[in-house]
Amino acid sequence: MNTWLDISPESDFSIHNLPYGIFSTPSRRPRVGVAIGDQIIDLAAVAMRGYFQSLSIEPDVLEQPSLNAFIRLGKPTWQAVRKRLTQWLTEDDSPLQHLRQECFVAQSEAKMHLPLEIGDYTDFYASEAHATNVGTMFRGKENALMPNWKHMPIAYHGRASSIVVSGTDIHRPKGQIMPQNAAQPVFSPTQALDFELEMAAVVGKDTKLGTSLRPEEADDYIFGFVLFNDWSARDIQRWEYVPLGPFLGKNFASSISPWVVPLKALQLFRVEGSKQQPEPLPYLQTSSKRNFNIDLEIAIEPEGERETVVSRTNFKNMYWSVGQMLAHHTVNGCNLRVGDLLASGTISGDEPNSYGSLLELSWNGERPLTINSNQARTYLEDGDTVTLRGYAEQEGIRVGFGEVQTKILPSL
């Protein structure tokens, strides 16, 4: 498809993407927008001029400070809006050409907001390479994976209130830490602050309490995906996690990208997942292409210096698919709601330069990374900026997520 807009071939926001977000300017309160190239289409402004009337979309749905009301309109409406925008962006003499002044905003002039009202967030542990690496460090190679890991997608419920949008700085968290060879814990800022490179699926349809989904139903229940950085304080987590799992070592912050890439935009990039042995129980079995071929990278930028890319990996490496996560999450009757997030867990590849966390990249501090050829990192320092990026590209078609960028500030 060709558009009358001038879009760089390297842009994450091609005509094939059309991701949704919430933006504002000094003259426009927070509202729904769609990214295209370096511009944002103000969907509320388009609706106020009557161009979505035939789709029964009221302008006030698009003037909300989150995408939830729009998502609740349902999959047929999402698809109709996407089809209409694609048509308008590729046809000469379309309404959008005549409304460029009123309905387009430069991304450089807009402020991006958290795109969703997130009621609940679940963090999975679905990368075999990551689970194997962590298990090897703490239990040895022979016991790297717990006995249940290849039978079900392991997960825990995270804290939704501390999820923030890209560009929001976070303060180094404090908590109890048990120093090595000490007899008593101490209260201290974390000395092992880490990132976790993840993707998160956005739930697009409520489920009813007591009902469950099959993996093949994911396409009807997932609105789209965001990049997700699940921050971790490893030393706080190490002391607290037995017997109930993550708490203060994880719930202080998670960061997401401002643009939600629709599931429809990722269909071209579906791939087969890795062979699952032993065969999952029937409720988790699926014959469809389970995974997505999305390139991902992590960069660290010390304050006042240039960034260094420390890892490159791919979302296709996941052992458990999003459809299987949905099926397992609801098999006991747990209900999901529009705007909920299902995060993948850390995405790691098989090679050391494809690991998705500093815990793995520095092998629990034993192998410091070199940043900018003159600085070492085992974990993050104050002033460091961490950036996650992701995009899918095939046959000249590029669909990207932009980035999640966050600076680490000292403890308060």
Which of 130, 157, 171, 328 is the catalytic position? 130
Q: Is the dihedral of CA 9, 12, 16, 20 positive or negative?
A: negative
- Alpha-carbon gap, residue 15 to 38, rounded angstroms: 12
Give the pairing of strands 174-177 and 197-203. Answer: unpaired
Q: Burial code of 171-207, b = ≥16 C-beta within 10 A, e = fewer? A: ebbbbebeeeeeeeeeeebbebbbbbbbbbbbbbbeb
Query: Residue 257 in 3-state DSSP?
Result: coil
Please say whether the beta carbons of 233 and 215 come within 8 A: no
Q: Burial code of 334-370, b = ≥16 C-beta within 10 A, e = fewer? A: bebebbbbbbbbbbbbeeeebbbbbbbbbbbeeeebe
- Alpha-carbon gap, residue 405 to 343, rounded angstroms: 18
Catalytic status, residue 171? no
Query: Residue 106 in 3-state DSSP?
Result: strand
Element (H, E) at 122: strand 121-124
Residues acting as catalytic residues:
130
